[in-house]
């Protein structure tokens, strides 16, 4: 009995240390944990790849901490199943919203952004988590981009760009790009190289996209310092990321090993969660692993390469948009210049433009010309810069001149049109048509340009890509720029509306005067006819001459001349 107990005790001496070693090894594999007791009440979060893996775990954690979470998923059915599981785990179902999006389709991304911008006034957290690994053969999306590159990086890039204005409205905006420890294996991030089938390899394609994720975060932190942009390696996770690779069978064969040697989905979510909610982040644009800052590959640290990648990415998606705007701007500038030349020519030839309104119009033309030249030059230079992948121009120094000129232009036009409206409405002397005919020539281009901007912005849900290409408001605070644009657009709309009212009043008044003249003529004719009946019959001629305006610019009664 003693000997058997002794053997059992000896066995325990071996087993207990072994179990302890396995336990601590497992804790080490689980990695760093986010332990801050931080709430996310009232925050709006957007998570891609939310139907499984790290994305689903992130949705659960964010939701349980009080955030409203948009689950962006490619498969609506799987997303619904994931949502049901999260609700069963204790999540608030009213704060879990599903939106379908395919990151390999730019139009799908634009569609979902329209919905997000419509439903929410701002977004606090964007986690770019979705990813593909191990696509067997080279494959292009319908947008003409290698599928892994677009799904893992370029689709997230577009999504981020479209949501930047909404993120900037948050008091504490966060962008998290989920990368990978394999990013140093990337051989190139040049778009032409990536899109060449000869350069394709499963892991090569994946590592390129993950290097791009890190570089994207670094460049975002430079361009938008208010937004905390970070990237991270979530760890080696026992997830379904291999589902597109043909290697998924390995997960079933080696399930016990995978369970022990890889992180769980919740463990993998800890670092992205730390970046999304932590109140103690160190710096901006950094790369994290296990909730601490680590050094990324040397390939990701060249600022020049980050700028080049950023500009190439923008160019690959929307170069045609600023080209359209350049064409539109040239047309409107020509119309505006034509209107200005008409005013100048009229001021030389017509005396009615030498008075009060003539002076106002001359000042108006001067301001308008400054604005036209500024917009044309700025647009042209930025389109050229985009074409060659250079950095976007910044016009902060010229901002005050432009805004003053454009604001003065609009106010002067409004004063002129309002004065004309008063003149036509009240019985006072006024030279109306010859002066007001020039107003639409200089206000219509701005109005149509505003309508075009709104239409294209809505079509592409992309004001951050369109506006900087053609307007110096890029240098301004987003809120101020929005308000100023609305005011500018509204003033031009009011000017044209008042001008339409003036035109209608002129027609009505002219019709009333003409009717009055006809009535008076008829009365005079009847009176003269009666008088003629009393005169002895003889040859006589009656002529009626109508002089509608005398030298004082007033309508006068028709004059009747009778000759015998």
- Provide DSSP, 83-148: HHHHHHTT--GGGEEEEE--TT-HHHHHHHHHHHHHH-S--SEEEE-------SS--B-TTSSBHH
Tokens of 117: 């911008």
Task: Identify which of 230, 391, 405 has the alpha carbon closest to the alpha carbon of residue 304.
Answer: 391
Measured CA to CA, the distance from residue 441 to residue 78 in angstroms comes to: 57
What is the 3-state secondary structure of 174-203?
EEEEECCCCHHHCCCCCHHHHCCHHHCCHH
Pairing between β-strand 68-73 and β-strand 44-48 as defined by DSSP bridges: parallel
Radius of gyration of the chain (CA): 36
Which helix (H) or strand (E) segment holds residue 230: the answer is strand 228-233
Measured CA to CA, the distance from residue 359 to residue 336 in angstroms comes to: 18
Strand partners, 263: 237
Annotated catalytic residue within 14, 23, 200, 206 = 206
Measured CA to CA, the distance from residue 239 to residue 350 in angstroms comes to: 80
CA distances from 280 to 38, 40, 276 (A): 11, 15, 11
Spatial contact of 545 and 559, defined as CB atoms under 8 Å apart: yes
Determine how many CB atoms are found less than 10 A away from the CB of residue 27. 10
Spatial contact of 526 and 560, defined as CB atoms under 8 Å apart: no
Measured CA to CA, the distance from residue 112 to residue 122 in angstroms comes to: 15
Measured CA to CA, the distance from residue 95 to residue 91 in angstroms comes to: 8
Three-state secondary structure call for residue 485: helix
- Tell me, yes or no, if 206 is annotated catalytic: yes
Tokens of 502: 């003036």
Determine how many CB atoms are found less than 10 A away from the CB of residue 22. 11
Cα angle 216, 220, 224 (rounded to 5 degrees) comes to: 175
The string over 64-86, giving b where at least 16 C-beta atoms fall within 10 Å of a residue's C-beta and e elsewhere, is bbebbbbbbbbeeeebeebbeeb
CA distances from 354 to 348, 349, 361, 370, 502 (A): 8, 10, 10, 22, 21
* Residue recorded with tokens 């009717």: 515
Measured CA to CA, the distance from residue 225 to residue 302 in angstroms comes to: 18
Strand partners, 44: 68
Determine how many CB atoms are found less than 10 A away from the CB of residue 49. 27
Cα angle 15, 19, 24 (rounded to 5 degrees) comes to: 150
Three-state secondary structure call for residue 294: strand
Tokens of 367: 């301001």
Residues with a catalytic annotation lie at 206
């Amino acid at each position: 009995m003693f000997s058997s107990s002794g053997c059992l005790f000896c066995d325990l001496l071996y087993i207990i240390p072994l179990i302890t070693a396995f336990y601590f090894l497992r804790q080490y594999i689980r990695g760093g944990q986010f332990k801050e007791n931080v709430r996310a009440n009232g925050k709006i979060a957007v998570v891609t790849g939310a139907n499984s893996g790290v994305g689903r775990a992130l949705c659960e954690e964010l939701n349980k901490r009080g955030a409203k979470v948009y689950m962006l998923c490619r498969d609506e059915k799987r997303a619904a199943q994931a949502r049901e599981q999260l609700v069963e785990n204790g999540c608030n179902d009213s704060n879990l919203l599903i939106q379908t999006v395919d990151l390999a389709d730019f139009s799908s991304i634009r569609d979902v952004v329209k919905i997000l911008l419509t439903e929410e006034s701002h977004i606090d957290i964007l986690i770019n988590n979705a990813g593909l690994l191990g696509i067997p053969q080279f494959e292009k999306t319908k947008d003409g981009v290698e599928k892994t590159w677009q799904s893992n990086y370029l689709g997230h890039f577009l999504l981020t760009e479209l949501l930047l204005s909404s993120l900037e409205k948050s008091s504490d905006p966060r962008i998290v790009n989920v990368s990978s420890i394999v990013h140093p294996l990337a051989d190139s991030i040049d778009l032409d190289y990536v899109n060449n089938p000869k350069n394709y390899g499963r892991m090569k394609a994946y590592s390129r996209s993950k290097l791009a994720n890190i570089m994207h975060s670094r460049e975002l932190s430079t361009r938008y310092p208010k937004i905390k942009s970070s990237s991270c390696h979530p760890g080696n996770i026992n997830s379904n990321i291999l589902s597109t690779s043909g290697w998924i069978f390995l997960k079933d064969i080696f399930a016990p090993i995978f369970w022990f040697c890889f992180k769980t989905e919740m463990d993998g979510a800890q670092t992205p969660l730390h970046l999304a909610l932590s109140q103690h982040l160190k710096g901006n644009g950094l790369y994290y692993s296990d909730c601490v800052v680590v050094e990324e590959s040397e390939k990701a640290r060249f600022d020049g390469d980050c700028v080049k990648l950023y500009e190439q990415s923008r160019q690959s998606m929307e170069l045609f948009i600023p080209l359209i705007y350049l064409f539109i701007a040239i047309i409107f500038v020509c119309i505006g210049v034509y209107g200005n030349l008409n005013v100048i020519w009229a001021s030389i030839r017509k005396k009615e433009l030498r008075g009060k309104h003539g002076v106002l119009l001359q000042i108006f033309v001067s301001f308008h010309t400054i604005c036209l030249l500024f917009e044309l030059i700025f647009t042209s230079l930025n389109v050229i810069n985009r074409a060659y992948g250079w950095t976007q121009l910044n016009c902060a120094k010229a901002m005050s001149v432009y805004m003053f000129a454009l604001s003065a232009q609009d106010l002067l036009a409004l004063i002129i049109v309002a004065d004309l409206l008063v003149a036509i409405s009240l019985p006072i002397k006024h030279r109306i048509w010859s002066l007001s005919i020039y107003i639409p020539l200089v206000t219509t281009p701005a109005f149509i340009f505003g309508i075009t901007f709104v239409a294209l912005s809505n079509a592409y849900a992309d004001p951050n890509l369109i506006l900087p290409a053609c307007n110096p408001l890029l240098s301004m605070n987003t809120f101020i720029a929005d308000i100023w644009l609305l005011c500018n657009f509204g003033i031009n709309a009011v000017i044209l509306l008042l001008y339409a009212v003036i035109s209608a009043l002129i027609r009505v008044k002219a019709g009333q005067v003409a009717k009055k003249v006809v009535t008076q003529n008829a009365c005079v004719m009847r009176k003269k006819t009666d008088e003629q009946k009393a005169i002895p019959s003889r040859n006589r001629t009656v002529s009626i001459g109508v002089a509608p305006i005398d030298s004082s610019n007033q309508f006068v009664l028709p004059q009747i001349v009778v000759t015998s």
